[in-house]
């Protein structure tokens, strides 16, 4: 990223260029019959500050067995490693598991651990281990599928090959769960065309990001981002080719 253009963004958002400490927010959708969790977080093995999903759900009066569906945006560690409990069994043992077919096929492929590069090889090993635990029960879907009443999958590749976003509608209200396709509230919003090292295919990720911003602003719908601040819920304001995240 051009340092001279990056500097004012770092200043504006009070960021340190050496390290970012983003929030990790799981989205929960309840419509009276289904209790749907989007991603499961990393569990306690990934970073010391993570692994609070059971307590967080308990705060809402939800036990792990109350979750009816677990829907994946993608299979990165902070999104899927929390799938297993300390006995290596699925934590949400009553839930149906759902993942985009392209994402599933990518991480299931035994060649991926060799082709993905050293920096992400552990991602591949960790994803496969979680996926093996749900292999017999997982439901795979594709772009445009209404996977549950009011929830439509939207292909949003780049961050990972099969990353999925989800449009959720209930009555006149709508929200777009974007996962990591819009990965932060600073550089990704201010400079959506800049390539990010956290995206596996950064060029495709730029196209996806622009598509999502277009949709979020033209349809004026709520955005729910995994690594966005304030719990991850907000609105997107457009200013030319640049955007602003407004916490809901």
Residues forming contacts to Zn ion in the complex (CB under 5 A) are 78, 180
**Backbone φ, ψ for residue 92 (5° rounding):** -100, 80
CA distances from 179 to 41, 62, 129 (A): 11, 22, 21
CA distances from 65 to 44, 151, 186 (A): 19, 21, 37
- Let me know if 73 is exposed, middle or buried by CB neighbors in 10 A (0-12, 13-18, 19+): buried
**Backbone φ, ψ for residue 64 (5° rounding):** -50, -35
Q: Which is nearer to Zn ion, 53 or 150 (CB)?
A: 53
Q: Which is nearer to Zn ion, 30 or 120 (CB)?
A: 120
Q: Which is nearer to Zn ion, 78 or 103 (CB)?
A: 78
From the CB of 135, what's the least distance to Zn ion, in Å?
A: 23
Q: Which is nearer to Zn ion, 180 or 199 (CB)?
A: 180
From the CB of 17, what's the least distance to Zn ion, in Å?
A: 20
Helix (H, G, I), strand (E, B) or coil at 117: coil
Q: Which is nearer to Zn ion, 47 or 246 (CB)?
A: 47
Q: Let me know: does 168 contact 175? Beta carbons within 8 Å.
A: yes
Helix (H, G, I), strand (E, B) or coil at 193: coil
Q: Let me know: does 27 contact 224? Beta carbons within 8 Å.
A: yes
Q: Let me know: does 223 contact 235? Beta carbons within 8 Å.
A: yes
Q: Which is nearer to Zn ion, 155 or 238 (CB)?
A: 155
From the CB of 75, what's the least distance to Zn ion, in Å?
A: 11
Report how far Cα 229 is from the mean position of its chain's Cα atoms. Answer: 14
From the CB of 39, what's the least distance to Zn ion, in Å?
A: 8
From the CB of 180, what's the least distance to Zn ion, in Å?
A: 4
Strands 173-179 and 222-225: parallel
From the CB of 104, what's the least distance to Zn ion, in Å?
A: 18
């Amino acid at each position: 990223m051009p340092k001279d253009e990056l500097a004012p963004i770092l200043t504006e958002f009070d960021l340190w260029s050496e390290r970012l400490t983003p929030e990790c927010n799981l989205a929960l959708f309840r419509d009276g019959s289904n209790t749907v969790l989007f991603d499961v977080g990393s569990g306690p093995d990934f970073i010391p500050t993570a692994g609070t999903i059971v307590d967080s759900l308990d705060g809402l009066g939800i036990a792990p067995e109350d979750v009816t569906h677990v829907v994946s945006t993608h299979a990165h560690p902070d999104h899927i490693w929390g799938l297993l409990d300390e006995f290596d069994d699925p934590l949400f043992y009553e839930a149906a598991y759902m993942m985009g077919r392209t994402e599933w096929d990518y991480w299931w492929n035994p060649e991926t651990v060799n082709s993905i590069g050293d920096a992400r090889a552990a991602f591949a090993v960790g994803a496969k281990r979680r996926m093996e635990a749900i292999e017999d029960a997982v439901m795979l879907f594709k772009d445009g599928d209404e996977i549950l009443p009011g929830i439509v999958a939207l292909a949003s590749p780049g961050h990972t090959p099969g990353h999925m976003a989800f449009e959720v509608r209930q009555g006149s209200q709508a929200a777009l769960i974007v996962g990591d396709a819009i990965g932060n509230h600073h550089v990704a919003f201010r400079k959506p065309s800049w390539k990010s090292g956290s995206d596996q295919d950064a060029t495709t990720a730029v196209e996806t990001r622009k598509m999502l911003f277009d949709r979020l602003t033209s349809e004026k719908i709520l955005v729910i981002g995994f690594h966005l601040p304030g719990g991850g819920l907000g609105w997107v304001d457009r200013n030319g080719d640049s955007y602003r995240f407004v916490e809901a």
